[in-house]
Structure 1
Amino acid sequence: MYNIKLSISIFALVALFAACNQTQENKETPAGDSLVTVPAVEVELRDTSINQAFKYYEDLKNVLVTSNASEARTAASELAIALRKVKGSENTAVLADKIAASTDLSEQRTTFTALSNDVITLFKQSEISSGSIYVQYCPMANEGEGGYWLSSQEEIMNPYYGDEMLHCGEVKETITKK
């Protein structure tokens, strides 16, 4: 019975890594350099309050990529303040506050999923002056439930797993100037 459970566990792990590696087959990162950042193209949104919220959202996403719960608290707090200046984003600001109040990285990442879903809607409805916003998705996030996030760079830098599965995910949509 133990051997069957062990075999199933090993098979599940292999399937998990295979699923994530399919979408990023040519984006290997050299050993010892797992958190290489690609310079993002500057994104500008017409509404200054929404633009500021996007900048703080990106800061939070980038800190989650580095798996730093303490810095995520600070970034989420700044995002909450910015979101309160955007009409209709009060509930999203509460999600950012929840991330800021947590010291648990796993809990922060789970809440980040709900926050991302809200801001994706906000930024899709906003007017972009320059650059592109990439809606990205990791099917393995949240225990296989999946999770979306936004980025100003096309390269996948996964905030749900950090350097454990840095490039797991794919671009699902690109939001550009209309």
Structure 2
Amino acid sequence: MKKYSFLVIGSFLAFTANAQFKNQETKQFQVKGNCVNAKELIEKAGNQPRISKVDFDASTQIALITYNKAKTNSNEILKKVALAGFDNAEYMAPDEAYAKLEKDCQYSRDKKMTMNHKEMNNSNHTSNESSQQQNQLSLVFDAYFSLKDAFVKTNESEISKQITAFSKSISAVEMGKLSHESHTIWMEVFKDLETTSKQLVQEKNIDKQRAFFAKLSSPMYKLAQKANLGYTIYYQNCPMFNGGSNWLSKDSDIKNPFYGNIMLTCGGTIETLK
């Protein structure tokens, strides 16, 4: 035990000496990973220039995470590590991400950790807790629909406002409050949603913004198929924008977000999700 403690402390001191950020905070977490490439894969998933740095020790399976707490937090970093295929103290990796790891990197998954994770999310909750779970994803859909409406109106200032709101709604999702099914699908679509929302935030041209909005359709559609939102969603298609593009709507009437008033009713509903 003493040898283990000195190893962790020594790694901690060496790591913090080399990682300096504004508003710096450092924490350590257990991360499952013991293959030759685990260190490279885990650190690549969590490292962000001038924002965060991860130092993983495969012998102890401890990750030391240093980050600028004004720009991110340990949960966001551990979520990225899980999406790369590695179970950790906060998040279980999606089965799909784990399966993509090379065979020598497919560590023994902690059955007790998996059971506890599933039991926590599948246990009988009070009506208030169930409402909290549903609201986690409802807020993302509400932001998406508000953004869609802004594109329909071709209101550039409102579009900019709603792009920011949508990006924040993704970051605001608390994984621990999701049901097991919602947790699984959220982990599958999170990376695509995050990447596209960042592209939207950086883009100022409305036509290119609309193209990025179209890219959101696939992950949002997957999310809508599993999320129990309590209302009907219409999956709609415009055959003319970029060779055919889709969007989601709470309204059965066609209000095209890619052309606005120019071709407001262009398109049709291809699937109804209840």
TM-score, normalised with respect to structure 1: 0.68
User: For structure 2, which runs of at least 5 residues remain unmatched after alignment?
Assistant: 1-130, 174-185
Secondary structure of 2:272 counterpart:
strand
Of residues 227, 233, 238, the one that matches 1:133 is 233
**Partner SS state of residue 258, structure 2:** coil
**Counterpart Cα distance in 1 of 2:266 and 2:192:** 29
> Structure 1 runs of 4+ off > 3 angstroms?
none
Change (3 A) 1:100 1:73: farther
Cα offset, 1:68, TM superposition: 2.1
Computing the radius of gyration from Cα coordinates, the structure with the larger value is: 2
Conserved 8 A contact 1:79-1:93? no
Kindly indicate whether the alpha-carbon contact (under 8 Å) linking 1:45 and 1:126 is maintained by their aligned counterparts in 2. Answer: no
1:96 to 2:194 alignment: no
Match of 2:223 among 122, 147, 153: 122
Which of the pair has the greater relative contact order for Cα pairs under 8 Å at 6+ separation? 1
Alignment correspondent of 1:68: 155
Which segment is superposed worse, 95-104 or 54-63? 95-104
Q: Which residue is equivalent to 1:28?
A: none
CA contact (8 A) 1:133 1:152 kept: yes
User: Shift of residue 84 of structure 1?
Assistant: 2.3
Partners of 1:84 and 1:166 in 2: CA distance: 32
Q: Does 1:171 align with 2:261?
A: no
| Cα deviation 1:129-158 (Å, max 9, x = unaligned) | 2x210000010011xx11100010100000
Q: What is the aligned-residue identity percentage?
A: 28
The whole-number CA distance in structure 2 between the counterparts of 1:84 and 1:90 is: 11
Deviation at 1:125, TM superposition (A): 1.3
In 1: Cα distance, 2:139 partner to 2:132 partner: 9
- How far the C-alpha of 1:46 sits from its partner, in A, is 6.0
TM-aligned CA deviation for residue 101 of structure 1: 2.1
Q: Is the 1:45–1:128 contact (alpha carbons within 8 Å) kept by the matching residues of 2?
A: no
- 1:1-150 alignment, distance < 5 Å: 47-86=134-173, 87-88=186-187, 89-129=190-230, 131-142=231-242, 145-150=243-248
* CA displacement at 1:121 relative to structure 2: 0.8
TM-superposed CA distance for 1:80, in Å, is 1.1
Distance 1:153 1:120 in 2: 15
Report the aligned-residue RMSD: 1.8
Aligned residue-pair number: 130
> 1:137 is paired with a residue of what secondary structure?
strand
Q: Offset of 1:91 from its aligned partner?
A: 3.0
Q: Matches of 1:45 and 1:123 in 2, distance apart?
A: 17
